[in-house]
Structure 1
Amino acid sequence: MKRFTLFLIFTFSTFFSGFSCFWDYDTIEMERMQFPDVIELISGKFLRHSQEFYQWRIEDRELKLQKYPDSLYLYNDLAVAYSKVGNDKKAIEIIKRKERIKPNDYTTYANLGTFYIHNGQLSLGIEYIDKAIKINPDAHFGREIYQRYLVEYVMQKMKNEKITLPLSSEVSRNFDRFPRYKLDNFYTFLVNKYNSKIEIPLQKDLLPKEELDKAIKGVMGMMKFGNYNSPVLLEALGDLLMANGWKKGARQLAARAYFKASYHSKQTETIRLYEQKVAYVLYHQYTKKKGDRFTIKELEKLLKEEIAEGVKYSEKIRRDEINWIQSGVNPEKEFAKKYYRKPSLGVRIQETNSINVDVENHYQKYKLNEKNNRKSFSKDTVSLNKSFKNLVKEHKGF
């Protein structure tokens, strides 16, 4: 009898220990180890040039092209600089001049595809991205492939040439489960793409880890070299970070991405839908005080601190670049000497002062009514009443 009792204790303890992370708390350090640099991208604390720098580069490259009209890299620099200051039509004009000098160049097609996408000419953009991928599918760790997929996904979500945010608003009725089959977001879009290319479809609707890592890296690349503030990119990143479910997903990072995406809308319903996505991913996220869940407001406080740190960092770079330009020194050389090292944010561990009952009520309000279904719920999404072209001009970078 004693032996049988010990056996039961061992069996139950072994069984439940296998699921301890499901109910346990995760710290932000663990997620950052799994997905390096994500929090810096979301907050904006990473190396990037100011608008003043790109205006300087336009003048500098225009002058150099007069002396060296066959220098191909100057066309790339000039076109990208025009795109960075919001003039994609000029960027397209410049890069086409380069194409006449050297046709069938990977960088020409990759840049031209991006400029067309920024200019709202999505089909034409995909056409040139495809040309770039055909020439060099592995360049930029395959970023163009996921850029193409993301544009396809957005086009699929558009109605009457208008986009609504969030792109995907469906969540499970049950916070205790993570049913991917009920979702219709960027991750499930990629799963369908992957299944269409293999002979035996995925049984659990989970991308292989190497594919998911490539997708996350691709979206991060678009944020870093395009626009880290784009709500489309932030939402796509959140979808991917939560892709492996409760145990392996990066809940705190995904929540930050969704939360920041909500800042780009003044529509109450749009903000509510993003907050619902945040509540869904954070429901099983615990703090150092085991058993305490933290609220959206508590996460927002940390996020605002991180964003403020990012703004302070980028403003410091901007002041330096303005001073270098005004002093007549080369800002590219000075930037390289001073800033070519990777910045990082300090570690922030989630804490909470909330009473457990209040936190539970906070999450319960976002649960869907059993009478609702995905189709009727999605109708609540508020249209921003902007064409896709205007939206991508406002949020450059994907």
Structure 2
Amino acid sequence: MNRFKVFLIVLVLISSKGFACLNWDIKRLKNKVEVYHDHKEYYVPRGHEFKIKDFPSLILDLEKGYEKTKDIDYLSDKGYVLIIQGKYEEALKLYLEIEKIKPNRYSTASNLGTTYELMGENEKAYEWIKKSIEINPKSHEESEWLHLKILEAKIKKIQNPTGEFFIGTNFGSEVLPKTKLSDEELTKLQDALFFQLNERISFIKPKDKIISVLLFELGNITLLNEAISDEASEIYELSKKYGFQNNLLNERLIICYKKMNEFSLRNNEELNKMASREQNLSDKLIKKARKNDNHFGKTILFSLAINVILLICSIVFFIKWRKLKKAATAS
């Protein structure tokens, strides 16, 4: 069996795993406008892909919504849009006004904390995030404790913060990460890291020391939990992009690439069988179609469409595989 088919089946296996864990993160404003519609692939934080194109029209529509209904959510969403635009002073002024109109709202406290942090006023940010947790302890998937630790590091101006400072544990200094945490504790920590990082990456571009450290720790947990290690390698690479520099990271990256390569080699026999079954199925379809002229044309077109899609997927995977192999060699 040729390598192209092997790459194809590996891609199918990985894709089936991906779709099983795939979910969508959607943010809609009060006026039903969709701000982002992201897909979450495992625990690789990519940030939100904001879909807004006409900011002035959207803000005007939200203002009209508030004038008509007096629903404070319209104003709150206007502030969120201002944050996306980077208009932090305007957003701050608006949220302080909202706090006067209707005090002690969770979203107001949370957004004030975020706005102050983006403006560099970390002490005020800390107080508002702390207040938001008091109002709603389960907010942001119960990950705001990590937000407070991040702000604490900024307030104390810690030059070289460690992962242990943020998450209260470490994964050792050996080539393979180790932990005494239970599976449940690891998953909860992984969820918190992903949520906080995904939000921060939406607004903070490389390089950022705190984000790089947290990405490294997320990569460690992901490597502990993964069989193939492709997601862990992506997170480690992202950590390097944000400025993390450590030989241990490179060593663990090499482990990821080796595991991925071993996975491909170990499954060659199974991949051959799958490809053979696929070919047999295709042959049977064609033979069956030839017995029925009315359906022959449709079946041929269907078969061709499948082959074209599989060929494209094969090429994409082949390129990715070569890139990963090259990166492993370079490391």
What amino acid is the match of 1:212?
A: L
For residue 235 of structure 2, the aligned residue among 257, 262, 267 is 257
What amino acid is the match of 2:144?
A: E
| Counterpart Cα distance in 1 of 2:317 and 2:325 | 21
What amino acid is the match of 2:321?
A: E
Contact 2:253-2:328 at 8 Å conserved across structures: no
Structure 1: gaps (5+ residues):
1-26, 160-166, 169-183, 194-203, 265-269, 294-345, 364-398
1:63-212 aligned at under 5 Å gives the runs 63-68=64-69, 70-155=70-155, 158-159=158-159, 184-185=162-163, 189-191=166-168, 206-212=180-186
| Counterpart Cα distance in 2 of 1:121 and 1:41 | 29
Structure 2 residue 192 is the aligned partner of structure 1 residue 218: yes
Paired residue total: 240
The secondary structure found in structure 1 opposite 2:91 is: helix
| Counterpart Cα distance in 1 of 2:227 and 2:219 | 6
| Counterpart Cα distance in 2 of 1:354 and 1:141 | 33
Q: Percent identity?
A: 20
What amino acid is the match of 1:237?
A: L
Q: Deviations over 1:306-363 (max 9, x none)?
A: xxxxxxxxxxxxxxxxxxxxxxxxxxxxxxxxxxxxxxxx89586359999x967x44
Whose helix proportion is higher, 1 or 2? 2
What amino acid is the match of 1:108?
A: T
Q: Give the aligned partner of residue 215 of structure 2.
A: 237
**CA shift for structure 1 position 114:** 1.1
What amino acid is the match of 1:189?
A: F
| Counterpart Cα distance in 2 of 1:101 and 1:137 | 23
Q: Give the aligned partner of residue 56 of structure 1.
A: 57
Structure 2: gaps (5+ residues):
1-12, 23-39, 171-177, 266-312
What amino acid is the match of 1:214?
A: K
Cα distance change of structure 1 residues 49 and 215 upon mapping to structure 2, 3 Å threshold: farther
**CA shift for structure 1 position 131:** 0.8
What amino acid is the match of 2:88?
A: D
**CA shift for structure 1 position 234:** 5.6
Q: Give the aligned partner of residue 250 of structure 2.
A: 279
Contact 2:88-2:118 at 8 Å conserved across structures: yes
Contact 2:45-2:194 at 8 Å conserved across structures: no
**CA shift for structure 1 position 215:** 3.3
| Counterpart Cα distance in 2 of 1:87 and 1:49 | 17
Q: Which has the larger radius of gyration?
A: 2
**CA shift for structure 1 position 262:** 4.2
| Counterpart Cα distance in 2 of 1:152 and 1:259 | 26
| Counterpart Cα distance in 2 of 1:77 and 1:238 | 33
Cα distance change of structure 1 residues 237 and 283 upon mapping to structure 2, 3 Å threshold: same
Q: TM-score, normalised by structure 1?
A: 0.48
Q: Deviations over 1:268-309 (max 9, x none)?
A: xx57x26x454222222326653999xxxxxxxxxxxxxxxx
The secondary structure found in structure 2 opposite 1:137 is: coil
**CA RMSD, Structure 1 to Structure 2 (Å):** 4.2
| Counterpart Cα distance in 2 of 1:74 and 1:218 | 28
Contact 1:72-1:98 at 8 Å conserved across structures: yes
| Counterpart Cα distance in 2 of 1:288 and 1:226 | 29
| Counterpart Cα distance in 2 of 1:291 and 1:48 | 36
Q: Which structure has the higher relative contact order (CA within 8 Å, separation 6+)?
A: 1
**CA shift for structure 1 position 125:** 0.7
**CA shift for structure 1 position 80:** 0.6
Cα distance change of structure 1 residues 140 and 263 upon mapping to structure 2, 3 Å threshold: closer
Q: Deviations over 1:210-252 (max 9, x none)?
A: 3432333234334545533644446523312313765758843
What amino acid is the match of 1:254?
A: A
Contact 2:219-2:236 at 8 Å conserved across structures: no
Between stretches 238-247 and 86-95, larger displacement belongs to 238-247
